[in-house]
């Protein structure tokens, strides 16, 4: 089939940080682009006021819940992710840190390029596109973190976060402040703390307000509620003549199906979307894919530990989702996370924080905790407003420990790849959280899956389609091109080939910017 007869030049599967960059830059270069997104197109009126509104918050299509937040459970990790036009930007905590040098020099990919030198110009571009600025307002959880930093001798390592938020004048709407009038109107942040529920006040710089907005304005077609289930080369070989992409509706019981053809395909559905699809296609339509698909999955070695204060006057819900950070050492970071008032659904999934080595010991510790601290536990359980009284501590490390995702009976399953398995009980995190709890007269808790099963949670799953010098070492080359196929790329969190140790959204955006810079204009 000639290029003139193809439906599109590029079809992008997913609209998160990698997919949105790809759509905007390819459209700028003159290409005809289609974005297929599994989730819905959501706006301010569609976002829940609190996470008790599960139908608007959660993505569980089998229950007719078509929200923006998804939880996926594996043997080794529970993954928190975003769904919708704009992908993870709808639910992420806005933070945009540039990783430390160790990330760029990691042995897993340092031999492919001088990454720090290569990527720094694109970090600058990404920060500008995402509207990055320093958080100007420290609230209760942030000032407490600074107090903790002083207590542990790390005051100089405390700082406000750089975030993707339009601060302006609170609740005041102004013409586009970022793209010389080409972007949408924006409204100044009111510091409600609801960033991760979807910003209802037009202040958060989600991808539908920058990359995707500009891409669509310039001709990109975005088709939501469309889940891709097959990508096949038209020539039956390496895709030199293009691809046929098949999709089905993701929000209806009776599936409508369709297909499009294109010269090129970009996988940008995040680790959960891209790796699941590539594993499926490797055994059918894309047999030339590397055997490394699904390998080198990284969790950012996280601990997520809520601390509920017994002080009824304390308010932790005001501010941006993550307003500050401590760099506790060269490999570790601690951030306080918040939800807005009334958003207390998580309280149903929590138990007192324990750290026993096996389930039996943890059960004993839980029993002992309830027996020894009945009044404190009851006060936390029946606290008037969980989100208002709770500071959620996010601890991240750079550790060389990886998982492998494989095809299972009911989707993907996880196995160990290299290093020690991810742990819900990181000693340094527990030590820091206990110190923070003392300052706010609070009690630490943990998700049920962590307290009982010892399975950690992460909002930053990465890898599975990593870079390499050839298909024996990776799935894609240093320019994001898939080994074995023409005009096929991966641009999402699955391309991350080393441990970042900080919130990864900016880095995903940056590497996607670099990948698109390598594609010639039409």
Last residue of a domain, one of 408, 428, 458: 458
pLDDT band at 2 (very low <50, low <70, confident <90, very high): low
What was the pLDDT predicted at 46? 97
Residues 62 and 191 in one domain: yes
Half-sphere exposure of 492 (CA within 13 A, CB side): 31
List pLDDT tens digits, range 156-207: 999 999 999 999 999 999 999 999 999 999 999 999 999 999 999 999 999 9
> Parallel, antiparallel, or unpaired for β 221-223 and 295-298?
unpaired
Last residue of a domain, one of 458, 480, 501: 458
Active-site residues, by number, are 460
- CATH number of the structural domain spanning residue 106: 3.50.50.60
DSSP, residue by residue, 320-350: -SB-EEEEEETTEEEEEE---TT--GGGGGE
Q: Residue 353: CB partners within 8 Å, gap ≥ 6?
A: 305, 430, 433, 444, 445, 446, 451
Residues 30 and 168 in one domain: yes
Residues 361 and 480 in one domain: no
Report how far residue 33's alpha carbon sits from residue 78's, in angstroms, rounded to the nearest whole number: 34
What was the pLDDT predicted at 475? 98
Mean pLDDT, residues 260-279 taken together: 98
Strands (E), 56-176: 59-60, 65-66, 69-73, 78-82, 132-134, 158-160, 162-164, 173-174
pLDDT band at 1 (very low <50, low <70, confident <90, very high): low
Residues 208 and 281 in one domain: yes
Question: Does residue 356 surpass a pLDDT of 90?
Answer: no
Residues 49 and 101 in one domain: yes
Residues 270-284 as b or e (16 or more Cβ within 10 Å = b): bbbbbbbbbbbbbee
Among 125-129, 261-265, 310-314, 422-426, the least confident range: 422-426
pLDDT band at 150 (very low <50, low <70, confident <90, very high): very high
Among 178-182, 300-304, 318-322, the least confident range: 300-304
| Interhelix angle 140-151/427-440, nearest 10 degrees | 120
Among 350-354, 421-425, 461-465, the least confident range: 421-425
Last residue of a domain, one of 430, 458, 486: 458
What was the pLDDT predicted at 410? 82
CB 434, CB 445: distance < 8 Å: no
Q: Is residue 151 part of a domain?
A: no
Residues 206 and 344 in one domain: no
Question: Does residue 307 surpass a pLDDT of 80?
Answer: yes
Residues 53 and 120 in one domain: yes
List pLDDT tens digits, range 207-250: 999 999 999 999 999 999 999 999 999 999 999 999 999 999 99
Residues 445 and 348 in one domain: yes
Mean pLDDT, residues 365-372 taken together: 93
CB 129, CB 104: distance < 8 Å: no
Q: Is residue 351 part of a domain?
A: yes
Q: Is residue 447 part of a domain?
A: yes
Report how far residue 201's alpha carbon sits from residue 167's, in angstroms, rounded to the nearest whole number: 11
Q: How many CB atoms lie within 10 A of CB 4?
A: 5
Report how far residue 127's alpha carbon sits from residue 142's, in angstroms, rounded to the nearest whole number: 23
Question: Does residue 347 surpass a pLDDT of 90?
Answer: yes
Q: Is residue 95 part of a domain?
A: yes
Question: Does residue 89 surpass a pLDDT of 70?
Answer: yes
**Total count of domains within the chain:** 2
Q: Compute the mean pLDDT over every residue in the chain, rounded to the nearest whole number.
A: 95
DSSP H or E run through 45: none
Structural domain boundaries enclosing 365: 303-458
Residues 364 and 500 in one domain: no
Q: Is residue 54 part of a domain?
A: yes
SS3 string, 314-328, reads CCCCCECCECEEEEE
Residues 66 and 200 in one domain: yes
Residues 196 and 215 in one domain: yes
Mean pLDDT, residues 101-109 taken together: 93
Q: Is residue 243 part of a domain?
A: no
Q: What percentage of the chain carries pLDDT values higher than 90?
A: 89
Bridge partners, 36 (sequence order): 13, 223
Residues 184 and 39 in one domain: yes
């Amino acid at each position: 089939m000639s290029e003139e007869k193809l439906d599109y030049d590029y079809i992008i599967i997913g609209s998160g940080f990698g997919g949105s960059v790809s759509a905007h830059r390819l459209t700028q270069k003159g290409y005809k682009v289609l974005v297929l997104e599994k989730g819905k197109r959501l706006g301010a009126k569609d976002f829940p006021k609190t996470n008790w509104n599960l139908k608007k918050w959660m993505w569980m299509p089998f229950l007719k819940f078509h929200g923006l937040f998804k939880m996926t459970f594996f043997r080794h990790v529970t993954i928190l992710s975003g769904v919708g036009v704009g992908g993870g930007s709808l639910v992420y905590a806005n933070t945009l840190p540039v990783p430390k040098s160790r990330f760029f020099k990691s042995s897993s990919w340092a031999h492919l390029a001088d990454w720090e030198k290569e990527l720094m110009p694109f970090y600058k571009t990404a920060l500008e596109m995402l509207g990055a600025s320093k958080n100007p307002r420290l609230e209760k959880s942030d000032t407490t973190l600074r107090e903790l930093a002083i207590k542990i001798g790390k005051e100089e390592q405390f700082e406000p976060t750089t975030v993707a938020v339009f601060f302006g004048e609170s609740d005041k709407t102004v013409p586009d402040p970022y793209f010389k009038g080409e972007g949408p109107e924006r409204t100044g942040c009111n510091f409600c703390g609801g960033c991760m529920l979807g910003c209802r006040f037009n202040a958060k710089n989600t991808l539908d307000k920058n990359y995707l907005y500009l891409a669509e304005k310039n001709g990109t077609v975005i088709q939501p509620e469309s889940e891709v289930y097959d990508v096949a080369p038209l020539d039956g070989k390496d895709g030199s003549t293009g691809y046929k992409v098949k999709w089905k509706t993701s929000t209806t019981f009776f599936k409508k199906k369709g297909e499009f053809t294109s010269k090129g395909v970009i996988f940008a559905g995040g680790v959960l979307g891209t790796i699941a699809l590539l594993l499926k296609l490797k055994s059918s339509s894309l047999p030339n894919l590397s055997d490394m698909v699904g390998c080198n999955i990284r969790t950012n070695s996280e601990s997520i530990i809520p601390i509920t204060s017994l002080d009824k006057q304390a308010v932790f819900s005001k501010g941006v989702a993550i307003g500050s950070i401590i760099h506790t050492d060269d490999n570790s970071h601690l951030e306080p996370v918040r939800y807005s008032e009334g958003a207390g659904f998580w309280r149903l999934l929590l138990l007192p924080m324990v750290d026993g080595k096996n389930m039996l010991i943890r059960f004993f510790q839980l029993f002992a905790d309830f027996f020894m601290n009945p009044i404190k536990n009851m006060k936390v359980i029946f606290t008037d407003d969980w989100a208002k009284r709770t500071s959620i501590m996010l601890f991240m490390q750079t550790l060389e420990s990886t998982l492998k995702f494989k095809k299972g009976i009911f989707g993907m399953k996880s196995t160990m790849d290299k290093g020690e398995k991810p742990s819900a009980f990181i000693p340094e995190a527990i030590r820091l959280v206990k110190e923070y709890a003392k300052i706010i007269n609070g009690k630490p808790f943990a998700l049920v899956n962590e307290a009982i099963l010892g399975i950690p949670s992460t909002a930053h799953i990465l890898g599975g389609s990593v870079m390499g010098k050839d298909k024996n070492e990776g799935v894609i080359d240093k320019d994001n091109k898939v080994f074995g196929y023409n005009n096929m790329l991966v641009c999402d969190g699955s391309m991350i080939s080393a441990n970042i140790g900080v919130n990864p959204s900016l880095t995903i955006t940056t590497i996607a910017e670099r990948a698109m810079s390598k594609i010639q204009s039409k």
